[in-house]
Amino acid sequence: MCEVSMSRVLTEVPWGYTMPRDEVHVWLTRVGWPPTHIRELADVLSLAERQKVKRLRFPLDRERHVIGRGLVRVVLGRILDTRPDSLNYVYNDFGKPYLRDAPNGRHLQFNISHSGDIVLIALADDRQVGVDVERIRHDLELEEIARRSFSSGEQADLGVLPAGERHNAFFRCWSRKEAFIKARGEGLSLPLDRFDVSVRVGDSAALLATRPDPLEASRWVIRDLDVGPGYKASVAVEGSGWRLKILELRIQQDQPSISL
């Protein structure tokens, strides 16, 4: 087990870090952490999480998994003033994790996403949250994927865009839809064509329509996240009256820094 006083990764998330109940926090970091940091994060994972890491074939997948699962434990431990390796999760029928018996009466929700070299962690208090990041790729048949996965309204909005804008618009739409699905915690049991999100760059990242319950769209907010060129990212949050705060944790060989 990892002792809090021994881990440099733990000290890189400030002891004074808190998350007010009316804020939603998104932590952003990138792969390429020093091996010592990766080992420290692996030590705070549960046995099941470590076993999953071992089953992953590619080193990049293993690193992203350790960073995402380990860092979310560190951050939750800071908020709850408890050891990250003592946190216990329960999982719903679709595999989404939740904290079991969280101390201090907090009902923290969290979600993780990674793509390329980016890892995102979203946290909220007493409201569902989902986050998604997509590396923009040029080796996919986007029109075919849109026909299979997007609603008819989204396909129409995508089709009227100038050809030069459709590629980015596709990934913008995809990240918004994935964030909402992950926030709902139902996996692909919620068909992608059962709801509409906006796809244009000038639009707010709105959830435009939900089916069969049209009122559900008003209960969610989707926001785009600026994570740098070559990526599209979004966060979906239940309810309103919250502020978004993005925290970037930069770790370069023995020179960590946090941007708030």
pLDDT attached to residue 254:
55
pLDDT at 255 over 70: no
User: What is the per-residue pLDDT across 14-68, written as a single tens digit (0 to 9) for each?
Assistant: 777 889 999 999 999 999 998 988 998 999 999 999 999 999 999 999 999 999 9
Which residues of the chain does CATH 3.90.470.20 include? 1-127+242-260, 129-238
Q: In sequence order, what are the beta bridge partners of 98?
A: 90
Q: Which one-letter amino acid corresponds to residue 182?
A: K
What is 159-201 written as a DSSP string? HTS-HHHHHHHHHHHHHHHHHHHHHHT-GGGS-GGGEEE--ST
Please, which residues have CB within 8 angstroms of residue 232's CB and are 6 or more apart in sequence? 133, 134, 136, 168, 171, 172, 174, 175, 224
Cα separation, 147 vs 247, in Å, equals 36
pLDDT at 1 over 60: no
Assign 219 a pLDDT band (cuts: 50, 70, 90): very high
Cα separation, 207 vs 220, in Å, equals 7
User: What is the per-residue pLDDT across 142-151, written as a single tens digit (0 to 9) for each?
Assistant: 889 999 999 9
pLDDT attached to residue 252:
62
Assign 9 a pLDDT band (cuts: 50, 70, 90): low
Whole-number percent of the chain with pLDDT over 90: 68
User: What is the per-residue pLDDT across 58-115, written as a single tens digit (0 to 9) for each?
Assistant: 999 999 999 999 999 999 999 998 899 999 999 998 889 999 877 666 789 999 999 9
Examine residue 212 and say whether the peptide bond preceding it is cis (omega within 30 degrees of 0).
Answer: yes
- Measuring CA to CA, which residue among 132, 177, 179, 139 is closest to residue 158? 177
The fourth-level CATH superfamily of domain 1-127+242-260 is 4'-phosphopantetheinyl transferase domain (3.90.470.20)
Per the listing, tokens 């390429």 go with 32
Phi and psi angles of residue 133, each rounded to the nearest 5 degrees, phi first: -130, 140
pLDDT attached to residue 99:
92
Assign 244 a pLDDT band (cuts: 50, 70, 90): very high
Pick the CATH number of 129-238 from 3.30.565.10, 3.40.50.1110, 3.40.50.1820, 3.90.470.20: 3.90.470.20
Please, which residues have CB within 8 angstroms of residue 3's CB and are 6 or more apart in sequence? none
Q: Helices (DSSP H) in the chain: which residue ranges?
A: 8-12, 35-44, 47-55, 59-80, 142-149, 152-159, 163-184
